[in-house]
Amino acid sequence: MLFDWLSFDLLLAIALIALAVAALRARDLFKGIVIFMLFGLLVAIAWVRVHAPDLALAEAAIGSGITGALFLGALSRIERKKKSTAPARLENPVGGSTSGAWTVLLTIVLTVQLALAVLRGWGYSDGLADEALSRIDESGVINPVTAVILNFRAYDTLLEIGVLLLAALGVYAIGEGPTVRNLQRTSRSEVLETFVHLLTPMIVLTAGYLVWVGYKEPGGAFQAGALLGGAGVVLLLSGRELPVHAARPGVRIVLGGGFLVFLLAGLAVMQDRAFLEYPRASAKYIILIIELACTVSIGAILTVLFAGCANLLTTPSEEEGT
């Protein structure tokens, strides 16, 4: 039995390395992206194998799904621009050449350093896991991962939401215009329409479930938000116009709401305790409210990121070119 599992893990590890190399060495960027997404799915399985289902969910949804969509969006934008200048096929900048050699060298050095750091620290400390687990009933939730992310380490998470918000602002700042171009109007079809009609409510339902279940089982705002972002990507790709115009106050509230609610929750408890130090009795509800707000914001931000990198945020006059 032990051998069975070992051989599975060994296969997984070999496949991961092989896919990573293949993704970097693929001459065709499209192929590289597809391999990268496959890599993400296997990484998710690897997280399951080390009993980290929260990370597995996040990796599958964000690392593989949304990041893959962002890459494909960026690629379609590059190819559209290239088409107008030269018909040359896009080549992967990492594959071959001297810069590739430097990348490999740098990666090896970093990997060795990382391995040394891990080996040196081996046995010294088990980290803060015991500390966190022993005080889990102070957090207001049962799932230790949620306890750490939304309570013990909430400051980090607040800043992460802030970084996401900044990324979305960056998209608006460098994007050319406010309206969302209607993608692929010509390829609208009954099949796709039915699929989107069926899928979108289910994604929203699953996202709600993931937030709710996050307090006791794997799940939470990032996973649920990534699902909503996926729904946004599907809606954009099926040719729908989403109201992502930055000048609309509603859009600003949705994008910034998660960060704002998080920040306000942190400030609200400051009367007699530190920033983000929730009172024990109401911690559960505070966390739930923060997570709900963050889920909606993360979903919206990821949708905007995709719309931005696929160059769907263009002015109507620019549409003529494509």
Partner 1 sequence: MSIISALSYLLIACGLFFFTAGTVGLLRFPDVFSRLHALTKADNLGLGLVVFGAILRQSELTVILKLILIWLLVLIASATTCYLVAESARRNPDVKESRNDAV
Q: Which chain residues interact with partner 1 by CB under 8 A?
A: 31, 187, 189, 191-192, 195, 198-199, 202
Q: With the C-alpha atoms ordered 278, 283, 289, 293, is the resulting torsion angle positive or negative?
A: positive
Task: Output the CA angle 126-127-132, nearest 5 degrees.
Answer: 110
Q: Considering the complex, what minimum distance in angstroms separates the CB of residue 46 from partner 1?
A: 20
Residue with smaller CB distance to partner 1, 157 or 238: 238
SS3 state at 155: helix
Q: What are phi and psi of 34, to 5 degrees?
A: -60, -40
CA R_g for the chain: 22
Residue with smaller CB distance to partner 1, 195 or 275: 195
Q: Considering the complex, what minimum distance in angstroms separates the CB of residue 220 from partner 1?
A: 19
Sort residue 239 into left (φ over 0), alpha (ψ -120 to 50) or beta: left
Q: Considering the complex, what minimum distance in angstroms separates the CB of residue 127 from partner 1?
A: 33
Residue with smaller CB distance to partner 1, 90 or 136: 90
| 155 token code pair | 């400051």
Residue with smaller CB distance to partner 1, 135 or 197: 197
Residue with smaller CB distance to partner 1, 31 or 240: 31
Alpha-carbon torsion, ordered 93, 99, 100, 106, to 10 deg: -130
Residue with smaller CB distance to partner 1, 31 or 77: 31
Distance CA 128, CA 126 (A): 7
Long-range contacts of 164-168 (CB under 8 A, 24+ apart): 164/297, 164/298, 164/301, 164/302, 165/255, 165/256, 165/258, 165/259, 165/297, 165/301, 167/301, 167/305, 168/255, 168/300, 168/301, 168/304, 168/305, 168/308
Q: Considering the complex, what minimum distance in angstroms separates the CB of residue 194 from partner 1?
A: 8
Residue with smaller CB distance to partner 1, 5 or 155: 5
Q: Considering the complex, what minimum distance in angstroms separates the CB of residue 234 from partner 1?
A: 10
Q: Considering the complex, what minimum distance in angstroms separates the CB of residue 193 from partner 1?
A: 10
**Would you say 258 and 237 are in contact if contact means Cβ atoms under 8 Å apart?**
no
Q: Considering the complex, what minimum distance in angstroms separates the CB of residue 71 from partner 1?
A: 18
For residue 305, the tally of other CB atoms under 10 A from its CB is 23
